[in-house]
Amino acid sequence: MKAIIVRRGNSHPELAEVPDPLPESGEALLRTLRVGIDGTDHEVIHGNHGENPEGDDYQILGHEAVAVVEDANGTDLTEGELVVPTVRRPPNGTNDYFKQGEPDMAPDGHYVERGIVGAHGYMSELFTSSPEFLVSVPDSFAEYGFLVEPISNSEKAFEHAFASRSAFEWNPQSALVLGNGPLGLLTLAMLETPSSPFERNYCLGRRDRPDRTIEIIERLGGTYIDSRETPVDRIPDAHEAVDFVYEATGYAKHAFETVDALTPNGVGALLGIPSDWEFKIDGGRLHRELVLQNKALFGSVNSNISQFEAAKVRLSEFPDWFFDAFVTGVYAPSEVETAFATGDESIKTVVEFDTL
Ligand code: NDP
Ligand code: ZN
């Protein structure tokens, strides 16, 4: 079958012919429709993140997919049913994190990740999976269901943010998303859905107008903030101190500046994955601010099945125009180079293996 892979020692993706996967007992065979590309794929390609599956000198990329059940293989799935796969799998047999339905809370070594760490991903015509790692979605998700995975990462962050404030009456109204990359824009769209309690949402970038991400921010109803004019710790003076900060820049200073952007009793979620970077901060002041203003700061990665389910509901609340504006390219597997190209004109690209 055709697959988009990265070979060990190479730092570019390529289209290759690889053996068809054979479902083991208890596994179904899935036919891939679409697979989204994100920053993690680029990190895997450049060898900054992840590792090949044991015994293979290549890895099939991709972890944001939507697929059809091709062969249920004795599982209780229905052939023709549409599904979105989760990312983490237990490395050798299962462990408590997976048994509890909380693979997203497993520390390193207690999981592999399809398309990222130690397991093949979904950028191939076919893949196999146990049904417990598949979320059923309606046929209307054939085109954009691959967004359920990235949205689920933010559902987890929202859940943890609310949980961290659940010991008192927290009625957040304002939110600040740091980063206008795909994760930041998706999260802003989530904050702007009709069921969201957030009334005033800001999104930070570092781009000049005209820019398609700024157009999306404003069309969603958010306020664009340029970090070159208004650094994160100045946002309370320029706009307002916010109840919730969602960091998706991977710019390490933002983790600490978040404390200053928060209103008392506010919470900041850190999602970005920066490289090592040493810089000076006034740790004493930040520590004091966290304590005396009852602020919270936490990190969040990956997501569990219930957060995938929440993401399904959220995705169906997005306005129709958003998908056309956000997905800037749909490519055939043979167009791998263009699909992985980056630049200000590209927001979210996707490889299409098949259609319903
Ligand atoms: P991108 O790198 O595409 O987006 C980051 C955005 O932040 C870019 O648009 C960039 O602007 C902007 N940015 C960076 N630094 C600044 C700054 N100083 N001021 C203003 N804007 C800035 O990544 P993604 O959107 O795909 O993901 C965001 C982060 O989250 C990444 O670090 C990624 O690794 C991580 N991630 C974490 C997950 C998790 O579960 N924790 C899941 C998925 C991703 P510009 O484009 O103009 O340079
Ligand atoms: Zn991802």
pLDDT at 8: 84
Residues 6+ positions from 69 with CB-CB distance below 8 Å: 28, 29, 30, 31, 77, 78, 79, 80, 81, 83
Question: Edge-to-edge strand order for the sheet containing 88-89?
Answer: 88-89, 112-114, 118-119
Q: Are residues 125 and 213 in the same domain?
A: no
- Specify whether the CB–CB gap between 267 and 165 falls below 8 A: yes
Structural domain of 343: 2-142+319-352
- Are 196 and 172 a contacting pair, CB within 8 Å? no
**Structural domain count of the chain:** 2
For the chain (356 residues), the mean pLDDT of every run of 10, in chain order, is: 94 96 97 96 86 88 98 98 98 93 97 96 98 98 98 98 98 98 98 97 98 98 98 98 98 98 98 96 98 98 98 98 98 98 94 97
Closest CA to 146 of 127, 130, 129, 123: 123
163 lies in a domain?
Answer: yes
Is residue 250 domain-shared with residue 191, that is, in the same domain? yes
Q: Is 302 in the pocket of ligand 1 (CB under 6 A)?
A: yes
Is residue 88 part of an annotated ligand binding site?
no
CA of 286 to the centre of ligand 2 (A): 30
Residue 52's pLDDT is 79
What gap in Å lies between CA 183 and CA 213, rounded to an integer? 12
18 lines ligand 1 (CB under 6 A): no
- Closest atom of ligand 1 to CA, residue 182: 25
Let me know whether 281 and 336 are in one domain: no
Positive/negative CA dihedral, 214, 268, 309, 330: positive
Whether residues 170 and 289 share a domain: the answer is yes
- Identify the residue whose C-alpha is closest to ligand 1 atom 9: 181
Token pair recorded at residue 9: 């020692």
Instruction: Name the β-bridge partners of 74.
Output: none
Q: What is the CATH number of the domain that holds 161?
A: 3.40.50.720
Q: Is the CB of 86 under 6 A from ligand 1?
A: no
Counting from 1 in the atom list of ligand 1, the atom nearest the Cα of 43 is: 34
Per-residue confidence (pLDDT) for residue 344, from 0 to 100: 86
Domain assignment present for residue 17? The answer is yes
Q: Is the Cβ–Cβ distance between 241 and 262 less than 8 Å? A: yes
Report how far ligand 2's centroid is from the alpha carbon of 208 (Å): 26
Q: Is 301 in the pocket of ligand 1 (CB under 6 A)?
A: yes
Is there a single domain that holds both residue 133 and residue 207? Answer: no
- Judge if the beta carbon of residue 187 lies within 6 A of ligand 1: no
Q: Do residues 79 and 105 both lie within one domain? A: yes
Helix axes 212-220, 182-191, angle to 10 degrees: 10
